[in-house]
Amino acid sequence: MMNAHNAPSGTALQRSVVVTGTSTGIGRACTKVLLASGFHVFGSVRTQADAGRLSRGFGANFTPLVFDVTDEAAVAAAAARVKAALGKTTLFGLVNNAGITVPGPLLHLQIDDFKRQIDVNLTGQLLVTQAFAPLLGADPSREGKPGRIVMISSAGGRNAMPFLGSYSASKFALEGLSESLRRELMLFGIDVIVVAPGSVATPNWDKAIADVSAFGATPYAGALATMRRHLVSGSGNGLPAEILGEAIRTALTAAKPKTRYAVPAPSLRSLVGRLLPKRFMDNRIARRLGLENAPRPAPSAHAESAHAEPVPYSTLSLKVS
């Protein structure tokens, strides 16, 4: 969705950024920060309703692009629209932010739900990167300094917690993909920077902790409820999403950017936690959540509950961008 009214023009072409997943959360906050800094933002959303809402709210320097990051044809069409708007000018940046989280114990996740998690949070990021890389400078005919790619990872990309295994798997993989990509794109002068949020105050994580009843028939029901209580009690302490927007702006504009920005910066407690033996941390987490191995009870009529079928979680997979 693009027209003459909201297509960039003049000097704004030299500071145009594509941001995926702009309808809520970090993506929306990032868009606000970049617009306030004089950028033109091409923001991806998945519905025409969101496109219209954001266009009205953000104004002429925001151009909505309607696509899902897993839809190769739609992504290619969006890249073609941005190319037409830029002319020969290089795209200043690409922020790969769109993502979902599919929580739940790994033994009880439907494989299709796990695949969906990886498809959106990993494969989709590469698909979008491939589509927009020529505009960032992989096409040598473009005019201007090569652009940058910002990958939105997570604290869960280096430290995996129970019941967020599929999400952490996608973010651990994204960290590795980003490092390889950064080294490969040196050929074109395109930098790749990871921004890794910790706890962020967004409605999407509130949804993530709202309901664990889907796994109530599994042996993990008690531990899930305990984890939910911990997350609820700490949910009000998350960073404002705009702080992430500022970190993304820094990654895009710093003269000598870091390869990775953790937001907030690691505390002494978290640094110490990284140095402690993994087994120590495993046992500490198990005690806190009630995941310690207990003596097996005598067989009963309800013994089969430990082997419950995987729980379909597609309807509860959550957008976290």
What does 15-75 look like in DSSP terms, one character per residue? GEEEES--SSHHHHHHHHHHHHTT-EEEEEESSHHHHHHHHHHH-TTEEEEE--TT-HHHH
Per-residue model confidence as pLDDT tens digits over 168-204: 999 999 999 999 999 999 999 999 999 999 877 565 5
Instruction: Give 42's contacts (C-beta < 8 A, 6+ positions apart).
Output: 16, 17, 18, 19, 63, 64, 65, 78, 82, 85
Predicted confidence at residue 306, as pLDDT, reads: 45
Helix or strand holding residue 289 (H, E)? helix 278-289
| Confidence class for position 282, pLDDT limits 50, 70, 90 | very high
- Is-above-0.95 flag for pTM? no
**Starting from the edge strand earliest in sequence, which strands make up the sheet with 40-45, in order?**
62-66, 40-45, 16-19, 93-96, 148-152, 191-197, 260-263
- Architecture of domain 10-292+308-319 in CATH? 3-Layer(aba) Sandwich (3.40)
Please, what is the average pLDDT of the chain? 86
Q: Is the pLDDT of residue 115 over 70?
A: yes
Predicted local confidence at residue 207, as pLDDT: 59
**Candidate from 59-73, 85-99, 137-151, 213-227 with smallest mean pLDDT:** 213-227
Confidence of residue 132 (pLDDT cuts 50, 70, 90): very high
* Confidence band, pLDDT 50/70/90 cuts, at residue 271: low
pLDDT number for residue 11? 42
Residue 310: the pLDDT is: 59
By percentage, how much of the chain surpasses pLDDT 90? 69
**Backbone angles phi and psi of 22, in degrees to 5:** -95, 0
Residue 313 annotated in active site: no
Domain-wise residue ranges, the chain = 10-292+308-319
Active-site hit among 167, 220, 261, 313: 167
pLDDT of 2 higher than 50: no
